[in-house]
């Protein structure tokens, strides 16, 4: 069932999954369902295929991932970064989360699946002051981590000028997008496109595509408490 959902979804997008990818998605699903951690509220294989795997793979229609460096901020159970790595083995993926147990789960899982995603435990706003990570990525992704004005300050500093930040949001996020415009401007971004997309079963989700057009000023991101208390 999971395999059918994913194969049909990808075929409709004009994308073919690499050999063996469906078997990896099945093992991923099994690992998620048996993990003692509370990694997801989504249960069952069909909903996992639609709301986690297909939702993550939707980004394949929005940017070229092959050969790119990608960081997934607040990846949790690996979404969207790990499905993207499974679908496009030739992209260099870093999975970032501030919760050690989640990163430990992902590290074990990547080992079991023989998928070479880098699993990093840390906070996005701290990584942004490490020269190995600041403005180092072609693509920064993030789903369900924070409101867009806050999320922009966490993510945009990690994107290289010319790179892309993709925020996964619900369709009811018009006000949230407007509220984030000053943060996007200030931190060197420009909203390129708001793309609504359909998942199998008819749910519509949204991706906000932010281009990095110039360097992020050196004082940003601020400390987390400041970002949240006084968003740009
Ligand atoms: N992206 C996943 C998980 C969302 S839950 C999904 O869509 O299913 C949000 C996750 O972001 C949590 O795992 C939390 O630990 C992590 N997180 C929150 N703030 C963060 C920060 N500043 N830096 C890194 N990770 C963060």
Q: With cut-offs at 50, 70 and 90, classify the pLDDT of residue 4.
A: very high
Distance 21 CA to ligand 1 centre (A): 25
What is the average pLDDT score of the chain? 96
Give the model's pLDDT for residue 36.
77
d(CA 202, CA 9): 12
Give the model's pLDDT for residue 109.
98
d(CA 33, CA 77): 11
C-alpha distance across the termini of the chain, in Å: 45
Is the distance from the beta carbon of residue 212 to the nearest atom of ligand 1 less than 6 Å? no
Check if the beta carbon of residue 59 is closer than 8 Å to that of residue 50. no
Give the model's pLDDT for residue 43.
85
For residue 73, list its beta bridge partners.
96
pLDDT digits (tens, 9 = 90+) for 24-46: 999 999 999 998 777 778 889 99
- Please tell me the residue having the least CA distance from ligand 1 atom 16: 74
pLDDT digits (tens, 9 = 90+) for 143-181: 999 999 999 999 999 999 999 999 999 999 999 999 999
CATH architecture assignment, domain 64-229:
3-Layer(aba) Sandwich (3.40)
Distance 121 CA to ligand 1 centre (A): 11
Looking at the predicted structure, is the pLDDT value of residue 23 above 90? yes
Is the distance from the beta carbon of residue 79 to the nearest atom of ligand 1 less than 6 Å? yes
pLDDT digits (tens, 9 = 90+) for 69-108: 999 999 999 999 999 999 999 999 999 999 999 999 999 9
Q: With cut-offs at 50, 70 and 90, classify the pLDDT of residue 5.
A: very high
pLDDT digits (tens, 9 = 90+) for 188-206: 999 999 999 999 999 999 9
CA angle 141, 36, 100 (to 5 degrees): 50
Report the residue among 145, 155, 226 best suited for mutation to probe ligand 1: largest number of ligand atoms under 8 A from its CB. 145
Kindly give the number of the ligand 1 atom that is closest to the alpha carbon of 40. Answer: 8
pLDDT digits (tens, 9 = 90+) for 122-147: 999 999 999 999 999 999 999 999 99
- Please tell me the residue having the least CA distance from ligand 1 atom 7: 143
Contacts of 47 (CB under 8 A, 6+ apart): none
């Amino acid at each position: 069932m999971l395999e059918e959902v994913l194969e049909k979804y990808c075929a409709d997008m004009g994308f073919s999954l690499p050999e063996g990818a469906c078997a990896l998605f099945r093992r991923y699903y099994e690992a998620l369902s048996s993990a003692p951690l509370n990694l997801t509220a989504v249960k069952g294989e069909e909903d996992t295929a639609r709301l986690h795997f297909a939702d993550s793979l939707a980004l394949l229609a929005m940017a070229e991932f092959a050969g790119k460096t990608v960081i997934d901020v607040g990846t949790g159970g690996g979404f969207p970064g790990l499905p993207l790595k499974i679908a496009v083995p030739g992209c260099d993926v870093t999975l970032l989360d501030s919760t050690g147990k989640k990163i430990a789960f992902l590290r074990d899982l990547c080992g079991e699946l023989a998928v070479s995603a880098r699993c990093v435990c840390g906070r996005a706003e701290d990584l942004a002051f490490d020269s190995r990570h600041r403005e180092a990525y072609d693509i920064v992704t993030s789903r369900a981590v924070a409101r867009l004005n806050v999320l922009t300050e966490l993510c945009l500093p990690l994107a290289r000028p010319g790179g892309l930040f993709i925020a996964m949001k619900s369709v009811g996020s018009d006000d949230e997008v407007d509220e984030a415009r000053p943060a996007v401007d200030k931190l060197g971004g420009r909203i390129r496109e708001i793309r609504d997309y359909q998942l199998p079963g008819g749910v519509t989700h949204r991706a906000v595509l932010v281009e990095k057009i110039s360097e992020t000023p050196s004082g940003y991101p601020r400390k987390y408490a400041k970002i949240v208390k006084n968003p740009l």
